[in-house]
């Protein structure tokens, strides 16, 4: 796949509010359209970012203070990559137990389903705790012909 016209990193800073998530979705869609990324890859990344950011905002902070979350997206070879950096509590979604999909809804333990979807939609997930920051990297292969 040619990288012509597909280079450059985009950065968006948002607050730790669920109201900010729509801004992220529109921004990712605009990036994908500008770079010619196939809709399936953009949708998969958007669903994954929505889940990760929703969890970060909802469960990642032990206070009610304002916090900044930084989201970067870029293309590298045949991958669409997103990186989320936040100063929330340490959390590595790769270590999250995958939700059991067996049995009825009433028998299942709550939680883990969103992370299950992220693991299914992304080709690679990376995590590092650097100082007081979580750094999560999501990689989605861009389909051939896209």
- pTM for the full predicted model: 0.84
**Structure tokens, 117:** 């979807």
Integer Cα distance of 49 and 66 in angstroms: 20
> Do the Cβ atoms of 75 and 42 come closer than 8 Å?
no
All structural domains of the chain: 16-141 (3.30.565.10)
pLDDT classification of 6: cutoffs 50, 70, 90? low
Q: What is the pLDDT of residues 46-67, one digit of tens each?
A: 999 999 999 999 999 999 999 9
Mean pLDDT of the chain: 87
Q: What is the mean pLDDT of residues 33-39?
A: 96
pLDDT classification of 145: cutoffs 50, 70, 90? low
Backbone region of residue 19 per phi and psi (left: phi > 0; alpha: psi in -120 to 50; beta: other values): alpha
- Tokens 């949708």 locate to 43
> Do the Cβ atoms of 48 and 119 come closer than 8 Å?
no
């Amino acid at each position: 796949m040619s990288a012509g016209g597909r280079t450059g990193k985009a950065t968006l800073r948002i607050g730790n509010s669920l109201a900010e998530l729509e801004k992220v979705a529109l921004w990712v869609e605009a990036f994908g359209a500008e770079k010619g990324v196939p809709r399936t890859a953009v949708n998969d990344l958007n669903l994954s970012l929505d889940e990760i950011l929703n969890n970060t905002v909802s469960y990642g902070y032990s206070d009610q203070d304002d916090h900044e979350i930084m989201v970067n997206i870029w293309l590298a070879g045949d991958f669409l990559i997103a990186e989320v950096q936040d100063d929330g509590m340490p959390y590595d979604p790769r270590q999250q137990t995958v939700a059991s999909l067996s049995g009825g809804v009433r028998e299942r333990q709550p939680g883990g389903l969103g992370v299950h979807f992220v693991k299914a939609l992304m080709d690679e997930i990376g995590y590092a705790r650097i100082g007081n920051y979580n750094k999560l990297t999501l990689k989605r292969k861009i389909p051939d012909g896209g």
